[in-house]
Amino acid sequence: MNKNIRNLSLFAITWPILIEVFLHMALKFSDTFMLSFVSDEAVAAIGVVNQLMMFMFILFNFTAMGCGVVVSQFFGADKPRDVSRTIANATTINLIFGIIVSAIVVIFRAPLLAIFNLEPALMEYADIYMIIVGSTLFTQAMILTTFSALQAQGFTKDVMYISLGMNVLNIFGNYVFIFGALGFPELGVTGVAIATAASRALAMIAGFVLIYRRTEVRIKIKHYIELKADYVKKMLNIGIPGAGENLSYNASQIVITALVTLLGTTALATRIYTNNYMMVMTVFSVAMAKGIQIYIGQLVGAGMLEHAYKRMYRGLKVAMAVSVAAGAVLAIFPEFFLGIFTDDAEIIAIGGTLLLIGVLLEPGRTTNLVVISSLRAAGDARFPVIVGIFSMWGIGVLLSYVLGIHLGYGLIGVWIARLADEWFRAIFMILRWRSRKWQRML
pLDDT tens digit string along 139-169? 988 998 999 889 888 888 888 899 889 888 9
Q: Looking at residues 168-194, what average pLDDT do you find?
A: 84
Please check the confidence at residue 331 and state whether its pLDDT lies above 50.
yes
- Which distant-in-sequence residues (6+ apart) come within 8 Å of 429 by Cβ? 367, 368, 371, 372, 375, 384, 387
265-303 confidence digits (pLDDT tens): 788 888 888 887 887 788 888 888 888 888 888 788 777
Residue 4, Cβ density class (10 Å: 0-12 exposed, 13-18 middle, ≥19 buried): middle
Residue 177 vs residues 127, 189, 283: alpha-carbon distances, Å: 18, 8, 28
351-404 confidence digits (pLDDT tens): 889 999 989 999 999 999 999 989 988 878 789 889 999 999 999 999 999 999
Q: Tell me what pLDDT residue 401 has.
A: 94
Is the separation of the CB atoms in 352 and 277 below 8 Å? no
| Measured torsion, CA atoms of residues 78, 245, 269, 255, in degrees rounded to the nearest 10 | 160
3-state secondary structure of 36: coil
Is the separation of the CB atoms in 32 and 43 below 8 Å? yes
Lowest mean pLDDT among 34-43, 109-118, 311-320, 354-363: 34-43
Is the separation of the CB atoms in 383 and 302 below 8 Å? no
- Which distant-in-sequence residues (6+ apart) come within 8 Å of 297 by Cβ? 68, 69, 72, 73, 76, 152, 377, 378
Is the separation of the CB atoms in 148 and 64 below 8 Å? yes
Specify the amino acid at residue 441.
M
Q: Looking at residues 318-342, what average pLDDT do you find?
A: 87
> pLDDT tier at 442 (50, 70, 90 boundaries)?
low
Is the separation of the CB atoms in 268 and 47 below 8 Å? yes
Residue 370 vs residues 12, 275, 327, 329, 430: alpha-carbon distances, Å: 17, 20, 17, 22, 10
3-state secondary structure of 6: coil
pTM above 0.75, yes or no: no
Give me the percent of the chain exceeding a pLDDT of 90.
20
Q: What is the mean pLDDT of the chain?
A: 84
Q: Tell me what pLDDT residue 427 has.
A: 95
18-69 confidence digits (pLDDT tens): 887 777 777 766 777 777 777 777 777 777 777 777 777 777 877 887 888 7
Q: Tell me what pLDDT residue 206 has.
A: 94
Q: Looking at residues 247-252, what average pLDDT do you find?
A: 82
DSSP 182: G
- In 3D space, the residue among 157, 165, 149 whose CA is nearest the CA of residue 206 turns out to be 165
Is the separation of the CB atoms in 131 and 143 below 8 Å? no
Q: Looking at residues 423-435, what average pLDDT do you find?
A: 94
Q: Looking at residues 105-123, what average pLDDT do you find?
A: 79
Please check the confidence at residue 334 and state whether its pLDDT lies above 80.
yes
Is the separation of the CB atoms in 211 and 87 below 8 Å? yes
Q: Tell me what pLDDT residue 238 has.
A: 75
Please check the confidence at residue 339 and state whether its pLDDT lies above 90.
no
> pLDDT tier at 1 (50, 70, 90 boundaries)?
very low
